[in-house]
A and B are shown apart, each in its own frame.
Chain A
Amino acid sequence: MNIVLIILKWLFHILVFPGFLFTLCAALLLAGIDRKLVARMQNRVGPPLLQPAYDLLKLFGKEIIIPRQANKKAFLSAPAVGLASLLVTSLLLPFSASFVAVSGVADVIVVLYLLTIPAVAIIVGAASSASPFAGVGLSREMVAVMAYELPLTIVLVTVCRKAGLMMDESGMTFSLATVMQYQAEHGAMITKLSMIPAALAMLFIIPCEVGAHPFDIAEAETEICEGTLAEYSGLPLAFYELAHYVKMFILTSLFCVLFLGGFTTGVVVVDLILRLIFCVVVTFLCITVPHAVCARFKVEQVFKFYWTWVLGLALVSLLLVWLGL
C-alpha cells in the first residue's frame, strides 16, 4: 500500500507538478509574456499571450522533412533528448526550503550537467542534419557554450561557498535545498553585498544560455538561415522551440533559487505564485529588455564580453566570498 502511494507520488511529481505539465504551462506562459512585453516596448500591440502555444500546435501539424543525407536517428532524437534533460532539471529546483521533488547531496553539479545537455543536443542535431548553415550554426553554438559555461560554473561555486560557510562544517555545500535553507535563515543572497556581482553575472548568463535575441548567434535567421535549426521542420522543430521556452523558465527559476530564495511562506501554492512573479521579473530584466533594445552581437563580441566582463563580475564575487565578506 505504502509503495503504491510512493510510486503515485513520484508519478505526480514527474508528470504533473513540478515536472512535465507544470513546467510546460509555466514556460509557455513566460514565453508569451516575454513576446508581449517586447512588443509593448517597441510600441506594438504584439501577439496574443497564447502565441507560443499556437506556434507549437501548428508545428505539430506540419510535415516532417528529413534531409536525404542526414543521420536519421540522431536528427530525430536530439530534440527529444534536449527537452527531456530540461524537464528533469525542473524536478531538481526547490520551490521553498521544504518543498522539492528530488533532492540530493550535490544537485548543483547535476543541474550544471543537465543544463549543458540541451546545447549538446542542438550541436548533435545540427551536425547530423547535413546542412552547411547548420554547420556554421553549430560552431557558433559551441562558442556560445564556451563563453557562458565558465562564468556560470563560477557563479554556482560562489553561491555554494557562501551558503556552505554558514550551513556546512566543510565550508562548501552542493545542495540547492541547503542554499534555500540558508536564504530562509539569513535573508536572500541578493541582499548580501558580496553576491551582487555574481547575481549580475547570472543575469547576463541567462540570455546567452537561452539563446535569446542579442546573443542568438547560433540561430541568426538573417545571416545563416536559422543556423542550427535550418533543416528542422514539424514536430522536431516544435521540440526545439519548446526546449527554448522551458530553458527560459528553468534558468530564471534557477536564478530565483540561487539569489531570491528567502521570500517563501511554506504554503506551496503561495510560493508557486511568488516564484512565477519573480520569474517574470527576471525574464523582463535579462531577456526582454536586451531583446527590445539591442541588435545581435557578432560571434567574437559575445565571446569577449563573457570572458571579460561577466567572468570578471563572477570572479569578484568569488574573491569576496572567499575572503569571508
Chain B
Amino acid sequence: MLRKLIDESAAKSPWIYHINAGSCNGCDIELVSVLTPRYDAERCGFKLTGSPRHADIVVVSGPITVQTRDRVVRTLSQVPEPKVVVALGSCPRSGNVFKGSYSIDGPLDKYCHVDVSVAGCTPKPEAIIAGLAKAAEILKEKRKEMH
C-alpha cells in the first residue's frame, strides 16, 4: 500500500536539476521560462532544486565541452536513484552548430544513458514540458523496478 503510494508520487513530484554543459544559454533560459506564470510547470509538481542530491530529473543542456565533461559525469553520479536524464536541445544529442569543434567532446550518450531527448534549437517551452512529463513517467517506471 505504502509502496504503491510512493510509486504514484514519484511521477507527481519530479524535482529538476539543471546542468549547463557549455550551452549557449538559449536552452537554459527556455527551461526557466517553463516555470514562469505563463507555462507554470509547478502545477505538475516540477520544482527546480539547487543540489543534485535532491534531484529526480537531471536536465543537461549544451554540447558537452571538454571543460565540462568531467563535471557532468561527476554530477550525474551524485544523483540518488531513481533518476532520469533529459537532454535539452539539439546540442547534447548531436553537437548541433558546434559539431566538429576541437573543444567539444559529445554527444551526451557517450557518458550516460539518455532517457528523454527534447530536440530543437531552442526547443519550445511546450516541447520541454512534454519532455519533462515523459521523464516523470519514466521515473515512475524506474521506481517500480527498484523493488
Contact = CB atoms under 8 A, between A and B. Distances in A.
Contacts of A54: 9, 12-13, 45
Q: What are the nearest 9 A-B pairs in CB distance? A: A221-B50, A63-B80, A57-B9, A61-B6, A233-B53, A54-B9, A54-B13, A44-B40, A54-B12
The range of chain B's interface size is 20 to 34
A55 interface: yes
Nearest to B43: A45
B142 to A, nearest CB: 10
A75 to B, nearest CB: 12
Contacts of A220: 50
Nearest to A38: B42
B82 interface: yes
A34 to B, nearest CB: 13
A64 B80 contact: yes
A62 B81 contact: yes
A60 B6 contact: yes
A61 B7 contact: yes
Interface of A: 39, 42-48, 51, 53-58, 60-65, 133, 220-222, 224-226, 229-234, 237
Contacts of A237: 53-54
B115 to A, nearest CB: 17
Determine chain A's interface SS by DSSP, over half rule.
loop
Nearest to A46: B43
Contacts of B10: 58, 61
B42 A58 contact: no
Contacts of A43: 37
B146 interface: yes
Interface string B8-27: 11101101000000000000
Given A231-B53, A232-B53, A62 B12 contact: no
Contacts of B8: 57
Given A60-B6, A221-B49, A47 B80 contact: no
A42 B39 CA distance: 12
Contacts of B48: 221
A234 B80 contact: yes
Nearest to B14: A58
Given A46-B40, A47-B42, A57 B6 contact: yes
Interface string B47-86: 0111101101000000000000000000000101110000
Contacts of A42: 37
A65 B49 CA distance: 17
A307 to B, nearest CB: 28
B5 interface: yes
B124 interface: no
B143 interface: yes
A116 B8 CA distance: 35
B50 A51 contact: no
B43 A44 contact: yes
Given A46-B40, A58-B13, 16 more contacts: A51-B45, A54-B12, A55-B9, A57-B6, A57-B8, A58-B9, A61-B7, A62-B81, A63-B80, A63-B82, A220-B50, A221-B50, A221-B51, A222-B50, A226-B49, A231-B51
